[in-house]
Structure 1
Amino acid sequence: MTDFPDILRSPLCQTVTRDGITVQIEIYRLEDSEGWILELIDEDGGSTIWEEPFDTDAEALAEFNEALEEMGLSKLIEPDEGEQSTLQ
């Protein structure tokens, strides 16, 4: 049987509501990995994941906050047609 590494969740994970839209911010990494993954999960279970990992969980949350102010929550979870559902 293959052992899988544990997933470590950041204490910075949280739920955010803006303009009537609620998302769960998930920041996590594999136990044996150094990079933190930023993922948004919307109310319908849709997922938006940043392509590149972050050095710290705080950097991941800061990136979310910056993107939120720049793009708005609806654009983060529902990209325009032709755009990727992952962010860089």
Structure 2
Amino acid sequence: MADSAEPDIIFSDLTQDVLIDGHRFSVEIYRTSISPGWVLSVMNRFGTLTISDNPPYLADGLAWRDFEKRVETKGVRAFYSPKERRKLRL
């Protein structure tokens, strides 16, 4: 009989809330107990998630660097939908 228990979610120590140019984001980097790949999840002020997991990151630090790179190249716009950007006038 197979074990039907849900896998544990393991959060990276890099998981944190970040304030960038007055915009607060909840950045979560996590993996499950059954998968070695890390996932980057960024929630904006509207509750919209931007999730990067394909392919999964081999290390939590790589996920964090990808977050920093997106901020550097696209700014906070990277984490808002077009409709949200219009509301914020970004």
Shorter-chain-normalised TM-score: which range?
Answer: 0.7 to 0.9
Which stretches in structure 1 are left out of the alignment for 5+ residues? 82-88
Shift of 1:44: 2.5
Which stretches in structure 2 are left out of the alignment for 5+ residues? 84-90
* Structure 2 residue aligned with 1:84: none
Deviation beyond 4 Å, 4+ runs, structure 1: none
By relative contact order (CA 8 Å, sep 6+), the higher-ranking structure is: 1
TM-score, normalised by the number of residues in structure 2: 0.81
Amino acid at match of 2:26: Q
1:10-21 to 2 correspondences below 5 Å: 10-21=12-23
Q: Percent identity?
A: 32
Equivalent pairs counted in the alignment come to: 80
Shift of 1:51: 3.8
Distance in 2 of aligned mates of 1:2 and 1:32? 13
1:3-27 alpha-carbon deviations (Å, 9 max, x no partner): 1000000001111111211001100
> RMSD between aligned alpha carbons?
1.6
TM-score, normalised by the number of residues in structure 1: 0.82
Q: What SS does the corresponding residue of 2:25 show, helix, strand or coil?
A: strand
